[in-house]
Each structure stands twice: as C-alpha cells, then as structure tokens.
Amino acid sequence: MEEKPAPALDIPLESVGIPAPQGAANLIDTDYQIGQDNYQARPLGVSIDIHSAVFAVSALMIFGFVVLTLALPEQATAIFNGAKNWINTNATWFYLLSANVFVLLCLGLIFSPLGRIRIGGAEATPDFSRTSWFAMLFAAGMGIGLMFYGVAEPLTHYGTSLEGIVVGEDGVRTDWAPLGGAVGDEAAAVRLGMGCYLSIMSLARLSTELIDLVPELRPASGRLNQCT
C-alpha cells in the first residue's frame, strides 16, 4: 500500500528554520533540521509548533504539581515549606555563587575577544535597536515585580494586620503587622495593607491627601515610611 505524503502546512517560508548568515561565517555541517521533531498543526486557524517530548513532559509535570497541591493542600504545604527552608539554610551559597559567576562570565564575554563575535554572520545587524532591547528588559523586570509583589505585599500586610502584634517567648516582636495591626477590624486592615504597600512602592513620602484618607499611616514619630 502506497503511503500518502503528509499534507503541507500553510506556514510562511520565512518562519521555517533560521535565516542564512549575513557575511562571512563558520557554518556547522549537520543533517539536523530545526523543528524536525516538532509537532505542527493549525487547529481553528491557530498555528501550533511545539517539541512533542519537551512539551509533554513539562505539561505532565505542571499538571501533576497542580493536582497534588489542590488534592492534598496540607501535605503539599509541608513539603514546599520544608524544601524552601532547606534551600534557604543549605543552598544560599550556591545561589550567590551562581549570580556572581554569571556576572563575571558576562564581563568576560564583553571584554575578551569572544565579545567581538557577531551572531548571525560578520555583517549581521540586530533586529531591534538598543532602545527596544532596553524597553523589553525593563518591561519584563517591571512586569514580574508588579504582577507578583503588586498582589503579594498588600495581602501580606492585610493578613498580618488582622493578627495584630505577636511577641515571642524572648520578648522579641515576631509579627509583620503594620503599625501594630488592626486585630479583627477588616476595614482598618485593608487601609493599612494598601497604605503600607503604596508607601513602600512609591519610595517617597505619602501625600497629605492619602494621610488624611488613611490616618493609621501617621506614626507618632511623624515618619511616613515606618510601616512595621
């Protein structure tokens, strides 16, 4: 029985593989074709181009973590907290060492002869300007901070405000309650949480209007950045 060739996908030629180098370049002779192991399709007009093995393993691992966390929240919390505490206690040196090694590696690439190697060929030009690259890096960094801490910090201040002041056996205060907290008062906890978050993120003194709106933010010392 004669095998029928697979139907060709309606994918622009310029999107297949990588463009040829511009100018002199040392090419690697290989039979490998970029994307040869990928799954490609266009369901409902949406282009899909994924590596089957990588996507399947990653998707199954993420799905398993989500299902186990939702099904066994107490056990998952204990496991995650234990892993986090172990890393913080035993592996902080590795994190700091890795960050410094990466910085030294980047500096080495910049100032060594390797920094003069132009990716894409001797005459290749970048697709984006330096301003565009800076804008993309800035947007990515700001996006992470705003998306995560924009929610985490107000909720943390809100939760600790409801619990109020907590003092350990040695007499040392162990809570994060802003300005002493607002035990049992949800409305005051909301104002404290948002007020302290805004004061930290603004990196400046709060305006007079905000202080009038949130009187709990006015500490006895008169300093506006003392949220704890």
CA distance 80 to 69: 10
Can you spell out the DSSP letters for 209-228?
HHHHH-GGG--TT--TT---
The terminus-to-terminus CA distance of the chain in angstroms comes to 78
pLDDT in tens, the chain (228 residues): 444 444 444 444 444 556 667 767 677 777 777 777 788 888 788 788 888 888 889 999 999 989 999 999 899 989 988 998 998 889 889 988 998 999 999 999 889 888 888 877 777 888 888 888 888 888 877 777 777 777 787 888 788 787 777 777 777 777 766 666 777 778 887 887 777 777 666 644 444 444 555 555 454 444 444 454
Give the pLDDT score at 168. 75
The continuous run of DSSP H or E covering 104 comes out as helix 92-111
* 3-state helix vs strand vs coil in the chain, percent to 5: 55, 5, 40
